[in-house]
């Protein structure tokens, strides 16, 4: 027993880190697959799926998705275990746990308790948990950004750390071009603190700086017209006191470790200042700054803990609980109320396709489907048959049309043809709020024309599903037997001129199964002969699905016999032949 106690005391940091990582893992995987993918998550997930199919992230339009290659190949690996929301998001869970470990090692550089307190803050902080649960590369970028700086810091004492620092820097740039902010700091630090041939490592960030500076500069000059600092600040309701504690935390840390503190803070501030002036607002752009914010807040508490003793544990707990995922529903990422929607972030819109009822989803799969944003539709339902052009960010009229090498205009993601005019009915049209909120006047008129005379068969907070049929068309909701079925509106239809086995008779199940294969959840065209209904109130009809004459198909396949009844015999000879 004494040996166990001594071992725990000796390795309390390691054991503490393991417990924190286990808790962090639980917070990140709890209900991970519950919320629907928001639009960018769907795009990344489809890019990873294309890697599994083609070896490279090339969409069916022919466009190479040249962003965050490392992330998407890792994501593709996890999709091997299941092509679903859980495994699409799981890579970020891993990167989030590595970020907790990074906080531990950086915190340890400052004080004995700093590592554990920093790791604990990072493990439960609600934004860290939120972005560690996304099928996007924001958590990876944060990890690589600060890993690069930490490895660079370590390289003064041991130049071999430059290998890790350089790899991390390259992966960071692959993930987001914003990682270019690190290049000047790398160059200066390597030249000042490293000797001999290790200084040659400065060539690598220098080359990236030259190669990437011009496109990055043009991007900046094109987009920097609005200051969004106030909008970003509006998302800090649960952590404004951390912004206050951050400053004395940085001061204390600077007095302890000047070089490390400057390396962590200066690149972060430079990048944050640039983000505030981008033309488009997105909370995820500024998320990376959560790491130094909670790191130096936690280091302030580690300093006070070492000065004031265990009394500070109560204060640490109280400060930690407010921005955590434990009890506060307004974070929308906690245990009591698991996330089912995004963090009130209009810059990360969701399209709740997974909430569409199974019968409607099946109808979308079996019939012509038209959509605006296609990645989520293809992920959850199928590749759309057509897409409608719109502007992703509201600037301009059309940002999703893509001209292929053979002269076709298709959707940039799915490769579906872009509609230039309303197609012939029947079809289904999915109009999501993310897309339709950005339509110009003539595009709104196009949508109104395309849905004229259509019925909304399903809607939720994010979308509407329009069913667009001709007067003689309807969707089959249920097959009763080999010659009878029910329409979506509840009407029962009896196929004219044929008779299939009744339930319980030989061949009945086979006949029913074949009719289901032909028409269930599909749109069919109904053609009347003489009578409207039979004695049981069933509609008497010849039935077509596309060009297929269902009545004739059942006879020719041997699932039914020709049966002439009453005056409804106009096509009986055709069916028999």
Q: Are residues 415 and 484 in the same domain?
A: no
Domain of residue 500 covers: 473-576
Does a structural domain hold residue 330?
no
SS3 sequence of 137-179: CHHHHHHHHHHHHHHHHHCCCCCCHHHHHHHHHHHHHHHCHHH
**Could you tell me which residues are beta bridge partners of residue 545?**
548
Q: Are residues 486 and 397 in the same domain?
A: no
Helix (H, G, I), strand (E, B) or coil at 257: coil
Domain count, the chain: 3
Question: How confident is the model over 63-68, as a mean pLDDT?
Answer: 94
Residue 277, pLDDT above cutoff 70:
no
Does a structural domain hold residue 228?
no
Are the CB atoms for 486 and 505 separated by under 8 Å?
no
The pLDDT, as a whole number, for residue 224 is: 45
User: Which position has the token pair 């490592």?
Assistant: 201
* Dist. CA 246–CA 229, nearest whole Å: 18
Q: Are residues 358 and 463 in the same domain?
A: yes
DSSP assignment, residue 571?
A: T
Does a structural domain hold residue 110?
no
Beta strand 427-432 with 369-371 is parallel
* Dist. CA 115–CA 269, nearest whole Å: 23
Does a structural domain hold residue 266?
no
Residue 352, pLDDT above cutoff 50:
yes
Stated as kind and residue range, the H or E segment containing 254 is helix 240-256
Q: How far does CA 434 lie from the centroid of its chain?
A: 14
Helix (H, G, I), strand (E, B) or coil at 478: strand
Q: Are residues 357 and 460 in the same domain?
A: yes
Does a structural domain hold residue 14?
no
Does a structural domain hold residue 192?
yes
Q: Are residues 172 and 188 in the same domain?
A: yes
Q: Are residues 492 and 528 in the same domain?
A: yes
pTM score, two decimals?
A: 0.86
Q: Are residues 434 and 477 in the same domain?
A: no
Question: How confident is the model over 33-40, as a mean pLDDT?
Answer: 90
* pLDDT cut 90: percent of the chain above it: 65
Q: Point out the domain boundary residue: 182, 206, 222.
A: 222
Does a structural domain hold residue 333?
no
Which two tokens mark 317? 């707990």
Full DSSP string of 267-284: HHHHHHHHHHT-SS--HH
Does a structural domain hold residue 568?
yes
Q: Point out the domain boundary residue: 441, 468, 495.
A: 468
Q: Point out the domain boundary residue: 436, 451, 468.
A: 468
Full DSSP string of 358-424: HHHHHHHHHS-EEESSHHHHHHHT---SEE----SSSSSS-SSEEE-TTS-EEETTT-PBBPSSPPP
Q: How many CA atoms lie less than 13 Å away from 326 in the CB half-sphere?
A: 15
The pLDDT, as a whole number, for residue 61 is: 94
9 CB-near residues (< 8 Å, 6+ apart): none
The string of pLDDT tens digits covering residues 213-225 is: 655 555 444 444 4
What is the CATH number for 527? 2.40.50.90
User: Which position has the token pair 């990074």?
Assistant: 102
Beta strand 498-499 with 523-527 is unpaired
Angle in degrees, 0-180, between the axes of helices 138-154 and 161-175, rounded to the nearest 10:
160
Residue 551, pLDDT above cutoff 90:
yes
218 CB-near residues (< 8 Å, 6+ apart): none
pLDDT band at 563 (very low <50, low <70, confident <90, very high): very high
Q: Are residues 388 and 358 in the same domain?
A: yes
Q: Are residues 417 and 511 in the same domain?
A: no
Q: Are residues 455 and 543 in the same domain?
A: no
Residue 8, pLDDT above cutoff 70:
no
Most confident range (mean pLDDT) of 32-41, 243-252, 507-516 is 507-516
Q: Are residues 481 and 507 in the same domain?
A: yes
Q: Are residues 404 and 502 in the same domain?
A: no
pLDDT band at 423 (very low <50, low <70, confident <90, very high): confident
Residue 252, pLDDT above cutoff 60:
yes
Are the CB atoms for 252 and 303 separated by under 8 Å?
yes
Residue 176, pLDDT above cutoff 60:
yes
């Amino acid at each position: 027993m004494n040996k166990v106690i001594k071992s725990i005391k000796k390795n309390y940091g390691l054991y503490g880190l393991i417990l924190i990582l286990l808790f962090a893992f639980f917070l990140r995987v709890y209900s991970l697959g519950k919320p629907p993918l928001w639009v960018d998550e769907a795009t990344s997930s489809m890019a990873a799926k294309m890697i599994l199919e083609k070896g490279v992230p090339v969409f069916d339009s022919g466009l190479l998705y040249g962003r965050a290659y490392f992330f998407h190949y890792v994501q593709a690996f996890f999709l091997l275990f299941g092509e679903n929301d859980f495994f699409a998001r799981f890579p970020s869970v891993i990167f989030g746990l590595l970020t907790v470990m990074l906080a531990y090692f950086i915190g340890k550089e400052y004080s004995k308790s700093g590592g554990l307190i920093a790791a604990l803050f990072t493990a439960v902080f609600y934004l860290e948990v939120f972005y560690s649960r996304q099928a996007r590369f924001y958590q990876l970028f944060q990890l690589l950004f600060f890993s690069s700086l930490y490895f660079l810091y370590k390289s003064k004492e041991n130049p071999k750390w430059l290998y890790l620092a350089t790899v991390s820097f390259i992966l960071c740039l692959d993930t987001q071009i914003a990682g270019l902010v690190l290049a000047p700091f790398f160059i200066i630090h390597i030249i000042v603190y490293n000797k001999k041939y290790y200084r040659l490592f400065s060539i690598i960030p220098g080359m990236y700086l030259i190669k990437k500076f011009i496109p990055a500069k043009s991007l900046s000059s094109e987009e920097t017209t609005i200051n969004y600092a106030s909008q970003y600040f509006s998302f800090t309701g649960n952590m404004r006191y951390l912004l206050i504690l951050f400053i004395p935390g940085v001061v204390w840390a600077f007095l302890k470790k000047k070089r490390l503190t400057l390396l962590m803070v200066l690149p972060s501030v430079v990048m944050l200042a640039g983000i505030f002036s981008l033309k488009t607002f997105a909370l995820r752009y500024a998320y990376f700054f959560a790491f130094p914010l909670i790191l130096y807040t936690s280091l302030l508490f580690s300093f006070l803990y070492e000065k004031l003793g265990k009394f500070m544990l109560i204060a640490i707990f109280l400060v930690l609980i407010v921005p955590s995922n434990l009890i506060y529903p307004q974070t929308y990422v906690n245990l009591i109320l698991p996330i089912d929607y995004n963090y009130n972030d209009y810059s990360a819109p969701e399209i709740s396709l997974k909430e569409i009822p199974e019968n409607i989803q099946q109808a979308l799969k079996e019939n012509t489907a038209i959509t605006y944003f296609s990645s989520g539709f293809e992920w959850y339902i199928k590749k759309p048959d057509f897409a409608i052009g719109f502007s992703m960010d509201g600037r301009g009229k059309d940002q999703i049309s893509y001209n292929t090498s053979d002269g076709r205009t298709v959707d940039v993601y799915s490769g579906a043809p872009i509609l230039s005019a309303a197609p012939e009915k029947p079809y289904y049209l999915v109009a999501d709020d993310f897309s339709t909120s950005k339509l110009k006047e003539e595009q709104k008129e196009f949508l109104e024309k395309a849905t004229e005379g259509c019925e909304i068969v399903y809607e939720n907070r994010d979308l509407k599903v329009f069913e667009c049929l001709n007067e003689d068309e309807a969707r089959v909701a249920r097959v009763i037997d080999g010659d009878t079925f029910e329409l979506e509106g509840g009407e029962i239809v009896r196929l004219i001129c044929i008779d299939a086995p009744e339930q319980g008779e030989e061949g009945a199940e086979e006949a029913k199964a074949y009719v289901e294969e032909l028409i269930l959840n599909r749109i069919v065209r109904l053609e009347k002969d003489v009578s409207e209904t039979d004695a049981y109130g069933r509609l008497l009809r010849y039935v077509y699905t596309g060009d297929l004459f269902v009545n004739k198909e059942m006879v020719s396949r041997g699932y039914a016999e020709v049966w002439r009844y009453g005056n409804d015999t106009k096509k009986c000879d055709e069916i028999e032949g």
